[in-house]
Structure 1
Amino acid sequence: MATPKEARKKTLLQVLALIIAVVIIVVGVVIFQKWWNGRPGPEPAEVTIKASVGEESLEVAPYLVCEPGVECPEGEVPNLAVGADDTLHLELPEDITDHEWRVLSIYDNPAANDEKIHGPNDAQSADIPGSVSMGQDSERDAGSDGNANSAAEGEKAKLMVVEVSSLMIGTNDAGEETPYTTVWSLSTMTDEELKEASN
């Protein structure tokens, strides 16, 4: 049978072992959290945007990734057909939405072109209509001719291209972090429109 002194010693050793275990766990959690917060994000060229129309979807890789003021080669522009009555839905990862980003919608009538600027964490997606009514703009352009006004009211501008742009941080050839202008571009033309554009 253990003496009171041995029992106290055993209890003290158990408490000490428990304190050491807690300290090791706390230090491990702090080190992991510091690593997690400071880990490098993906390179801008690796960040994709998901574009979808109805059941069709596609991952869009960057079209341009350039250091500001430096010329760089253009990439491929994928195509996802968006009908006049459809809506293009874009889902963006946190690597883009945690800072300022822009969406430029280009229509077949330049008067309908639109650019929206989003601040950090204010949106993770964007919906862009396949067409927009040109009634109000066309009425202003038509002047006082009532016939021109009534004909213009039915006109719609068709979505042709959508571009998302963001300034991202990447690693240059020297291994240093540097800002990159990153642009994702998506053509939204139908097969017929693509044939006409290529002629």
Structure 2
Amino acid sequence: MSTEKQTKKARRKAAQRRQYMMFGAIVLLVVVVAGAVLGYQRWSQNRPGPDPQDLRVTVTDASGEETEYAPFSVCQRFTGDCEESEQQPVEIGPDDEITLSVPEEVSSQDWSLLQIYDDPAANSENTWAAGERTEVTVRGSAETGDGGDGARLSVVEVHALVLGEDDGEEVPYGVVWAFGTGVESAPAGDTGE
């Protein structure tokens, strides 16, 4: 009978040991998963985003063809250092539309769209708050209110303030994407009269 009691006692201790080991394994698994999640969150929040000059705006023309464009100008706000390239040509007829889609790094901040026409009375600028819009559609012409044929679109610009890095420090950059339609805009101060 004493061997039977020891056997029951040994079995009970062995069962308790398995329970403790199972509990320890579960606790260890929870700690490892929580550490991995926290580590990923920290990494994703602190990883550098793309350089402002690497961001692209996608233009979808009237035929549905999409083209990505690099910025026209990237200016570091503190130093005023600017990198400029050429204004990108886009084709748009007076009755056509193009759609400009901005990257998440732009749409997650306030951004604006400037439209310049061959009649200064039709020029316009729109600004959107962070997260409000990711794309905008632009027509090739605008009504001027004088009963004429309408003003033809000359230039479209997307303006954004984007964070980038300079010598390991996070700094703001003014980034502009500029698109020309080939239509000459009126000189500054010209009211068309």
Q: Same fold (TM over 0.5)?
A: yes
In the alignment, what sits opposite 1:61? 70
The DSSP-based 3-state class of the residue aligned with 2:130 is coil
Superposed CA deviations along residues 41-93 of structure 1, whole A, max 9, x for unmatched, are 11110111001112232111111101236252420222110000011101111
1:1-199 matches, cutoff 5 A: 3-54=11-62, 55-68=64-77, 70-134=80-144, 136=145, 138=146, 153-172=147-166, 174-189=167-182
Please identify which structure carries the higher helix content: 1
The percentage of counterpart residues that share the same residue type is 33
The alignment's TM-score, normalised by the length of structure 1, stands at: 0.81
Cα distance in 2 for residues equivalent to 1:22 and 1:103 = 48
Cα distance in 1 for residues equivalent to 2:85 and 2:52 = 13
Letter in 2 for 1:178: V
The count of corresponding residues between Structure 1 and Structure 2 is: 174
The alignment's TM-score, normalised by the length of structure 2, stands at: 0.84
Q: Residues 106 and 160 of structure 1 are in contact (CA less than 8 Å); yes or no, is this contact kept in structure 2?
A: yes
Q: Residues 60 and 185 of structure 1 are in contact (CA less than 8 Å); yes or no, is this contact kept in structure 2?
A: no
CA RMSD of aligned residues (A): 1.7
Deviation at 1:113? 0.7
Cα distance in 2 for residues equivalent to 1:59 and 1:154 = 34
Superposed CA deviations along residues 12-38 of structure 1, whole A, max 9, x for unmatched, are 111111111111111111111121122
Bigger radius of gyration, 1 or 2? 2
